[in-house]
Amino acid sequence: MTEEIPSRLTLATPTQFDLVSFRDQLAAALDAVPVACVRLSLASRDEEALARAGDVLREVSHARDVPIIVDDHHGLVTRIGLDGVHLTDGHRRVRELRKALGEDAIVGAYCGTSRHNGMTAAELGADYVSFGPITPAPLLGEEEVAPTDLFIWWSEMIEVPVMAEGRLDDAALQALAPVADFVCLSDEVWLSPDGPIAALERIAGIFD
């Protein structure tokens, strides 16, 4: 019997969505391609709207044995039974939330392009550190991006898993596949002209 290879794909929700239609869209995606984790990334600051979305998407994810975490709104973890939090402000709250949520909760930290902040987050107890964006946005001029060399160095020097996120085109995915433990996908999937499932299947093929 062949041992199943764990997925290296994390799937973040769009920043805005219709809950009823997105519930079905997420379910179809999770049924089609193995995913390591779902991330609730709504831009809303309305805790009740976030809680409603979290309730629905938790049921979809947990029915398929996929953990679900939330961007920043750590109070929802215990309130509605999510699996952890993704901190978009780097290492600043890692120690605090590790203590508050316990060792079993997932605590991840997005550290932009800062190696120093990533190392600090790892030392403070983050389960993973993410860097990005990976490719520049044409309209943002000299925006700093996380180079492949950062992931190469991290994979050689640091044991805490590293994730890539933010504008991941196919060329970047090919380059990162040998050195990033995970990639977080969002617009790359939900806005794909081929449709979410086809995009997920293509990217999963790169990371298999």
Using one digit for the tens of pLDDT, what is the confidence trace for 174-184?
999 999 999 99
DSSP string over 77-140: HHHHT--EEEETTTTTTHHHHHHHH-TTSEEEEE-TT-HHHHHHHHHTT-SEEEE---S--GGG
- Helices 19-32 and 196-207 pack at an angle, to 10 degrees, of 40
How far apart, in whole angstroms, are the C-alpha atoms of residue 9 and residue 96? 27
Q: Where are the domains of the chain?
A: 9-207
- Going by C-alpha positions, the residue among 108, 147, 121, 137 that lies closest to residue 10 is 108
153 membership: H or E segment, kind and range:
helix 148-157
Residue type, 57: L
Question: Which stretches of the chain score pLDDT less than 70?
Answer: 1-5, 140-142
pLDDT of residue 68: 98
pTM: 0.95
The fold adopted by the segment(s) 9-207 is: TIM Barrel (3.20.20)
Model pLDDT for residues 24-53, shown as the tens digit of each residue: 999 999 999 999 999 999 999 899 999 999
